[in-house]
Every structure is written in C-alpha cells, then in structure tokens.
Structure 1
Amino acid sequence: MTNMTKTITLPTAPREFGLYINGKWVAAQGHKLFERCSPAHGVPVTRTIVGTEADVNTAVAAAKTAFEKRRWAGLSGQQRGDVLLKAAALIRERAEELAVLETFETGKPISQSRGEVLASAGIYEYAAGAARMLHGDTFNNLGDEMFGLVTREPIGVVGLITPWNFPFFILAERLPFILASGCTVVAKPSDLTSATTLIMAEILTKAGLPDGVFNVVTGSGSTVGEVLSHHPDIDMLSFTGSTDIGKRVLAASASNFKKLSLELGGKNPHLVFADAQLEDAVDGVIFGFCFNAGQCCVGGSRLLVEKSILPKFEQLLAQKLSRLRVGDPLNPQTQVGAIVNEKQHQTISDYIARGVKQNARLVTQGNVHASAEGLFIQPTVFSDVTSDMDIATDEIFGPVLAILPFETEEEAIRIANDTIYGLSATIWTQNLSIAMRAVRSIRAGRVWVNTTISGGPEMPSGGFKQSGIGRETGLYGVEEYTEIKSTHIALGPRTHWVS
C-alpha cells in the first residue's frame, strides 16, 4: 500500500499543539486547552491552546521586530521565492499527515483533503514566482530636471484570520502571497480547525523563513480575532468568513485605519439556459452545492433554470443526486462528508424546515442525521422558490439548493443580481453571446462558464457588494499587501524660491 491509500484509523488520544511564535513552539503551560472532536466520528482528534490577548501581543511584537529589522522584507524576490519553493516541497513530503488532520478536524472526505493539500503546494510554487515579478514603475516624462520612481513596498505586519471550511487551502490562497510581498504575519485559524496552520508554521521555519515572520495564535474569534482587529501594530488585516463578522472587522479597522482584505459571504447563482449541455450542467450544479457538504463560500446555492427545461432538469438532478456518496470521510470513495459542528448542523436543519414552512416544493430531501457518531445532512433541493424566501436570500452554508425559474435572459440576470452578495456565479449555455452578456451583467468577483469552482492561483479572487473588499491570489494578491510610494528625484541645481 502507498502512503496515500493505506487505511486510516482514528486516534486513541488527541494530538496536542502549542502556539507558534517567533520561530518556536510555545507550550501549553498556564493556558486553557480546546479539544476538537471529529464531526464525523465524535472522538477527540486534536487539542490546541486557547490564546489570550497577551499571546497576541507577543506574536505581534515578534512580527513587528522581524519586519522592522528587515529579516524578510530586506531579502530579494528570489530569496523569498526559494523559501516558498522549499515550503512547497515540504508540504508534499507531509501531505498525508496534513490531509488526515484536515479530515479529522473538518469532516471533509479524505480524497478532497488530499487534493487540497497537493493543490496548496502548487499555490506556494506559483507565489514563489510571483515574489520575483513584483515591481514598480519609472517616469522619464517629467523633463530633464526630474526623474520619477514608483515603488511597491510591503505594508508591514498583517493579521490573517482564516475560516474552518478550507483551513489549509484558504491559508495557501493568502499566506504565500503575503510572504511574497515581504510582509510579516500573525495568523489566527479557526479554533475548530487549527492543526494544519500550526504545522505550516513549522514547515516554513524548516524551509528557511526567518523567526518572527509567520506566527500562529490559536483561540476564539471573540478574543484573538478581536485583538488582532483592533491592534495598533497590525497594518493590514485579511479576514475570510461571514459578512456579519466582516462588518465588525471593518468597524474595528478604524482604530488605526488598517487596510483590509475581506472575503465574505455569498448566495451564488447557477444560470442554466435551455441550450445548455444538461448532463454537464446537472453534474456541475450538484458539485457546486454539495462540494465540502455545501460549506463553500463560492458554491452555487441558487439554481436559476429556464422554465422550458425545468421539469427535465429537476428529474436529472434527482436521479444523479441519488448516486451521490455521503458518509464516512475516511472512506476514499466518499464524496460528501460531515457538517463541521452541531451549531452549523442545526442551522442547516432549521433552513430546511423554513423552506418547507414557506411552501417551497421539495424535489429531494435526504436524511438529517446527528448523533454522537457524526453530523451528516443529505443534499436537499427545493423548487418553486421565490426570491423573498429565506432559502433564496440567506447564506445557509450547507447542501441545500433553491431552484428559481426564469423565462428570459433579462429575468435571469435580474434574479442573479437580486442579492446583497456578489462572490461568484456560474453560467451554463452553448451560446457565446448569451454567456458573454451574462458575464458582463452579473455583479460577482468570479464567474464560471460551463464549469464551476475551478481554476488555479493565476487569477484573482474576491467579491462585489457585501461579499468583500480586495483581491487575493495572482499577482494581484501580492500587490494587495503592498503600499505604493512615489519618489521625485531632482536632477541638477535647484531654482531658488527665495532670492
């Protein structure tokens, strides 16, 4: 058996982690501990420190010192890229360890975790190249007596708050780009899914990252997250999570006018036109709302279908959903795993009940199962949904799909944009003109045509409207963490103002 196919067994005792500050592990003495149970199995899998304000202050001080002493910012793009390349190689060496921990803490299928870990290594490799591409500009058009330079400089100490749904992958969509810019970082992963972020800190140190450049403080958002949001020595904050919490982060940033990068909620539409390849569209729609058990910010939870094909599409959807494999995430054949915790499980269950109460028609409803052994929800599809129903307006963050019919292209665009969010959208059609009109008209940061939730780190990600501020990944994602400085250089003698 290979390392990636051997049988995985649940731990007999949880794995313990400290904080990671200034290139070293900080032991748990004197700290409270948080024990995380697998949401699919109900057994303890990890134990992490509940960080305090003092821990955040220590980590921020270490990051600030590292930045001011230019341990990282003072290196060349090639030197920073070399560290990121080495980190990518070490991720690949520890891929199975990272994937298993990710599945234990999140409940996502092990095949998905393995794919995300290896894809993350590829993102670090891309960011290594981006570190060498960062550049400024020159202005030679200011006359013979003036020369202009525009330089990009790292913004400073970045606070990085990441969510529980893709803890390692979303970290990879942020951290290597921040590091490529020359910034230092204090990260707070979700208290539910901290393990792989802590291991990444260890990997980066082994790869040659100077002490203090990347620090991790685990704990609650109400303590660690709040302190980072208000901290006067945090120059920029990257937050990925709900729009409600994003609003609080935005308000807190006023304490020292922090620059922000926010990727927030979404209520993302799939638009299926009558000429679409229906089998492809059905498969894409199912992937869009079932991937990661629907706990995906860019997943498609609203399905807009041209009315003439709606009955056939519903039939195909129900047939294909019946073959979806939901269950134990340690089974490599599983496609949909567990819901992350009891609170989220209850939230999804409540929305399903609300859909029934508000007279939406159930197309499919699987079992809702919660016990000490695991938290699972089979995919649920509602039709005859109207735009005022809760299941059509709210981000549920679970495998629940709301179908809204349309008759014209204009109506489809209107329904797609009838939301406070603008994170992503997916269009299914074989008509290039329809596709491009929709691409131009839909207000969303990412749009897919005849595919969904695909692509690599080359292109930027982010949201319109209440789905966020700023862009991550791509060269844009490096530039996001820089300040632009204009320098005017006088050539020759000064013409005196006072004679």
Structure 2
Amino acid sequence: MDTLRPFPKLPATPREFGFYIDGAWHAGREMFERASPGHGVAVSRIPRCTSDDLNAAVVAARNAFEDRRWAGISGAARAAVLLRAAEILKRRRSEIAYWESLENGKPISQAMGEIDHSIACFEIGAGAARMLHGDSFNSLGDDLFGMVLREPIGVVGLITPWNFPFLILCERVPFILASGCTLVVKPSEVTSATTLLLAEVLEEAGLPKGVYNVITGSGRSIGQALTEHPDVDMLSFTGSTAVGRSCVHASADSNFKKLGLELGGKNPIIVFADADLEDAADAAAFGISFNTGQCCVSSSRLIVERSVAAEFEALLAAKMAKIRVGDPLDPDTQVGAITTDAQNQVILGYIAKGQAEGAKIAIGGTVKDLGHGQYIQPTLFTGVTPEMAIARDEIFGPVLCSMPFDTVEEAIALANDTVYGLAASLWTKSIDKALTVTRRVRAGRFWVNCIMAGGPEMPLGGFKQSGWGREAGKYGVEEYTQIKSVHIETGKRNHWIA
C-alpha cells in the first residue's frame, strides 16, 4: 500500500484484532464487528474487554511505572524510542491511513495528512523529552537552596473519540510518554484499529512492556470503569462536554485523579468587510466540511459583517457547491461518510430543526445517495438568529450558520455568546481589529487569516465548558507531571531548643 492509485479496495473479510496488555496480545472472548460507514461492509472485529481485562491493564501500567523501567531512564533514551516510532509510522503511513479511513469514513487523503501530523507529534515529543526540566532557587539565602522537580504523574488513562482516532491519540501519547508516565488507552469501540496498530509500532520501537496498554470496549462500561479506577493517577478524555462532566464526578467519587479534558465547541469564524473575502470563503467552507464537520474545532458559526454578508454568503455557497462528497477510499474525495448511524440522525435532525426555526438553506441540507454508506452535503444556513438551536448546540456535522454583525463590539459579543470556548477564526486586514478581537474572544485556539493551522509545537485546549488543561508541545508534557518543591539546608542548624 505505497500508493493511493488505484485507490485501495475493501478488505475481503473483516480483520480480527486482539487487545494489548503488558507487551502481549490477547484474544477477545466477545467481539464487536465494525462496518465501514462509507460502504456498509464489515471491516474489523474488535474485542469487548471486561473489567478484569481493565484491571490487568492498570496493574501492568502500575508495575511498569513503579519499577521505573520507563520513568527511570534518561530523557534522551525516551526520545530515542519516540523517534524510532516516528520512523516506523513513516513506513506504515499508508496502512494506518487505510484503516483510519475504513473505520471512520474520512477521506483517505485527509487520513494520510493526519498520519503526517502524528509523525510530527512523535518528533516534537522526542525533543520535549530531552528538554523537560524543573527549576532552582538560589535566592533563599546562603544556608538554603531550593529546587523544583517535575516528576511524571504516574499511570494515565487515555480515552479517545471516534472522530480523529489516530490524530488525537498521537497528540497525547508521545507527550505522555515523554513525561515518563505509563498508559492505559481506551479508544472508541467503533474506531479501535489504529490505536491497536500503534501498539505494534511502539513495541517495534523498543517501548518497554507495560508502558502502553490498550483495552477496547464501550465507553459506558470500560470507559466509565477506567475513569473511576482508583489506581489511575490521571485521566485524559476527549469527547462531549456531557461526558466530560461525568468524568469530573467520577474523579471526585474515586481518588481525585487529575483530569485533562478536551470537550465540545461551537466555534466562530468572524469575517470583517475588509477581509480577503475569497480567502475567507474558502476557509469557511473548509472549516465546516473538514472531517465532515465531525471536528471539535470546526467553525460552525459564521459571524460576518452585515455590509458584505449577502456577497460573502453567495461566495461561500458557490465554494461549498464544488466540494467533492464521495467514497472515502477515493483520493479525490474531500468529504467522506458520517461515522456513526446515531450521528447521522443527529445531523439530519438539526437540519430539519433549523428549517423549522425559520432559517434558510443556501446550499446543501440533503443526503447524498451513493448506493452505500451515509453521506450529507455540507450545509449553509442563512437568516440565523442567536437563539436558534442550530446556532447554540454543537451539531458535530457539516452544518454552518450565518449571522450578521455591525460593530466590532457586536462581533465579539456574538463570538462569546456560547458556553464553549475551544477555537475561533478571524478574517481582517486591520491589525487593530485582529489584536482587539483576538484578545477578547474567549477561545483556547485562535487563527487570524487562517484556519486549523499550526503544528504540535503549539498547545491545544479550551476555555469555559470546552475543557481543562493543555495538550501537545512542552505544555502537553508538563500537563502529565507534578511539581515537587525541595529545600536543601547547608551548614549547622540554628537550634529551636537551646
């Protein structure tokens, strides 16, 4: 699979996977069969792990942490493993992208780009492993010296979603490993294959046994049990705000484990009249259609200056009409299939609700029938008001709502009029507007005259109900450490008791 042309074919039979604990593969007793959302054909069989499997994985991760087979080696030695993993990913790039596309429904060309980003995450993680350090205080007087140590937090539970199974995994794993922690990973049951493939990659790269463990199964059973597990020191969860809230309760009810949460978003793309409207229209079309809109940082609220709103909506509709919706395995496809039946129904339900609320469809809003799979045309609603459900709720699909503004203050207010604060995009040629809006819109990631740009050097995370903590880069390594203050006294003690 070194080339995408002719584009890959479906597997003749579903591939059966095991789960991975303490450096060994285990067969599942009960299996879940996954059908490709783009084709309706079974492509993989994944184990439904039990609570005993989970406990075994946590024990393996705990043992690997406590005997210091990973935490006790140098940052340079950890970096070498991460760099070898990056090289193996380069070799297996097409294979991993193929399985990502099969199970998720995303275009394979997009999946290939995501593997490239994942490779970069391992390379950045390797550098961060060597650069991680504490601090010293030489300001406590001649008789006292202070040090601040950064130590790995311990066993990390990692729960990843179905929309970016490999990308989100790799925006966490190399940085968690760089810190010296060990992991128990629980992928979405509908997109588990590539998380299991990463186990093969890390084993070949020389990662010690027990450092990376994968259990598979449903979020309600295995995911919840991992969240509640008393011997897990930290949990990283990516998914909905509702489930993130349940993670907070579970942590409080178990061992007060630290949480890293990347949750929902209802992200604005703000377009001023002085912007390059052609560029902004292309960005808006991309921002709502990338990964079929099943993206936590999708720009799903268009906030456009009223004087150019009609012109811009027409430009945008013309762009969106040209988007190629089709077979995920076709390299020319830009928008693939909706990943799950349930999400397909949610998106169609919101399209119907938007019409019922009085918004107008400028483009899209229909199902595309390819004779197999589930596909929705990217949709633009105009005439949207802020109180409409389509303007407030995270739809998690290719549905964009357009709302006008007249002043900078109104644009900022509309952008902040949400419980979320994950990402935002701003389009203007005015540096004054760019700096003013960037400073005042509450979002963890901000793009000015670009969208979904940047690499794993930069931190990821949200404000408000979009989450806690930061991932990637040096911040993503530090997130998985805890700080210890050390005081060292020199000379003879000044006795309290004479």
TM superposition shift of 1:3: 2.9
2:137 matched residue in structure 1: 139
Deviation at 1:318, TM superposition (A): 1.3
Is contact 1:50-1:219 (8 Å) kept? yes
Please say if residues 42 and 372 of structure 1, whose CA atoms lie closer than 8 Å, have aligned partners that are also in contact. no
Does 2:67 match 1:69?
yes
CA pair 125-4 structure 1, distance change in 2 beyond 3 A: farther
Map residues 380-459 of structure 1 onto 2, 5 A cutoff.
Answer: 380-459=379-458
2:273 corresponds in structure 1 to 274
Which amino acid in 1 is paired with 2:5? T
Verify: 1:179 aligned to 2:171, yes or no.
no
Letter in 2 for 1:423: L
Task: Give the conservation status (yes or no) of the 8 Å contact 1:417–1:442.
Answer: yes
DSSP 3-state at the match of 2:171: helix
Q: CA deviation at 1:305?
A: 0.5
Match in the other structure for 2:122:
124
Give the 3-state SS of the residue equivalent to 1:426 in structure 2: strand
How far is 1:320 from its partner? 1.2
Q: CA deviation at 1:122?
A: 1.3
2:293–2:398 CA contact under 8 A, matched in 1 = yes
Give the CA deviation at 1:251: 0.7
Deviation at 1:169, TM superposition (A): 0.6
TM-superposed CA distance for 1:369, in Å, is 4.2
Partner of 1:7: 7
CA contact (8 A) 1:84 1:176 kept: yes
Q: How many Å separate the matches in 1 of 2:210 and 2:3?
A: 33
Whole-angstrom distance in 2 between the partners of 1:139 and 1:330:
57
Distance 1:372 1:74 in 2: 55
Deviation at 1:365, TM superposition (A): 2.3
Deviation, structure 1 residue 371: 8.4
Aligned partners of 1:371, 1:393: CA distance in 2, in Å? 31
Question: How much does 1:118 deviate?
Answer: 1.7
Q: Which residue number corresponds to residue 195 of structure 2?
A: 197
Map 1:275-314 onto structure 2 (within 5 A): 275-314=274-313
Tell me if the contact between 1:269 and 1:304 (Cα under 8 Å) persists in the aligned partners.
yes
Q: Which residue of 2 aligns with 1:476?
A: 475
5+ residue gaps, structure 1: none
Query: Does structure 1 conserve the Cα–Cα contact (< 8 Å) formed by 2:4 and 2:331?
Result: no
2:17 partner letter: F
> In 2 relative to 1, CA 371–249 (structure 1 residues): closer, same or farther, beyond 3 Å?
farther
Q: Distance in 2 between matches of 1:322 and 1:395?
A: 23
Q: Within 2, Cα distance between the matches of 1:188 and 1:275?
A: 46
The amino acid across from 1:443 in the alignment is: R
- Larger deviation: 480-489 or 136-145? 136-145
CA distance in 2, matches of 1:403, 1:366: 14
SS at match of 1:368: coil
1:442-479 Cα deviation digits (max 9, x unpaired)? 00000000000110011101000000000001100000
CA distance in 1, matches of 2:485, 2:144: 13
Which residue number in structure 2 is paired with residue 330 of structure 1? 329
CA shift for structure 1 position 2: 4.7
CA distance in 1, matches of 2:446, 2:151: 31
Check the 8 A contact 1:301/1:400 in 2, yes or no. yes
SS of the counterpart of 1:403?
Answer: strand
Q: Secondary structure at the match of 1:398?
A: coil
Give the unaligned 5+ runs of structure 2: none
CA shift, 1:497, in A, is: 1.7
The question of 1:215 aligning with 2:202 is answered: no
Structure 1 residue aligned with 2:357: 358
CA deviation after TM superposition for structure 1 residue 13, in Å: 0.6
- Give the match for residue 460 of structure 2: 461
Structure 1 letter corresponding to 2:409: E
Partner of 2:77: 79
Which residue in 2 is equivalent to 1:244?
242
**What residue in structure 2 maps to residue 17 of structure 1?**
17
Q: Is residue 56–residue 224 contact of structure 1 (8 Å, CA) maintained in 2?
A: yes
- 1:5 positional shift: 3.1
Amino acid at match of 1:16: E
Q: How far is the alpha carbon of 1:372 from its aligned partner?
A: 7.4
Helix, strand or coil at the partner of 1:373: coil
| Aligned equivalent of 1:27 | 27
Contact 2:351–2:365 (CA under 8 A) maintained in structure 1: no
What code does the residue aligned with 1:22 have? Answer: D
User: 1:164/1:486 Cα in 2 relative to 1: closer, same or farther (>3 Å)?
Assistant: same
SS in structure 2 opposite 1:197? helix
Offset at 1:112?
Answer: 0.4
Is structure 2 residue 219 aligned with structure 1 residue 228? no
Instruction: Report the residue type matching 2:336 in the other structure.
Output: G
Q: Which of 46, 49, 55 lines up with 1:48 in the alignment?
A: 46
Amino acid in the other structure paired with 1:179: L
Q: Could you tell me how far apart the structure 1 residues matched to 2:455 and 2:242 are?
A: 28
Match of 1:164 in 2: 162
Residue 361 of structure 1 and its aligned partner are, at CA, apart by 1.4
Residue 24 of structure 1 aligns with an amino acid whose one-letter code is A
Q: Percent identity?
A: 60
Amino acid corresponding to residue 382 of structure 2 in structure 1: S
Alpha-carbon separation, structure 1, partners of 2:295 and 2:155: 28
Q: Report the Cα offset of residue 490 of structure 1.
A: 1.0
Structure 1 distance, partners of 2:77, 2:491, is: 37
Deviation at residue 226 of structure 1 after TM alignment: 0.7
Aligned to 1:316: 315
1:110-169 Cα shifts (integer Å, max 9, x gaps): 100111112211110111000001000111111111111100000000000000001101
Q: Does 1:491 align with 2:490?
A: yes
Cα separation, 2, equivalents of 1:377 and 1:484: 48
Distance in 2 of aligned mates of 1:333 and 1:497:
78
Deviation of residue 91 (structure 1)?
Answer: 0.6
Which residue number corresponds to residue 253 of structure 1?
251
Query: Does the Cα contact within 8 Å between 1:416 and 1:442 map onto a contact in 2?
Result: yes
Distance 2:442 2:157 in 1: 28
Deviation at 1:367, TM superposition (A): 2.4
Q: Say which SS state the counterpart of residue 152 (structure 1) adopts.
A: strand
Moved more, 5-14 or 412-421: 5-14
Give the Å deviation of 1:370.
Answer: 6.7
State the secondary structure of the residue aligned to 1:377: coil
Give the drift of 1:366. Answer: 4.3
Give the counterpart letter for 1:173 in structure 2: E
One-letter amino acid of the structure 2 residue matched with residue 81 of structure 1 = A
Work out the CA distance in 2 between the residues paired with 1:370 and 1:51: 36
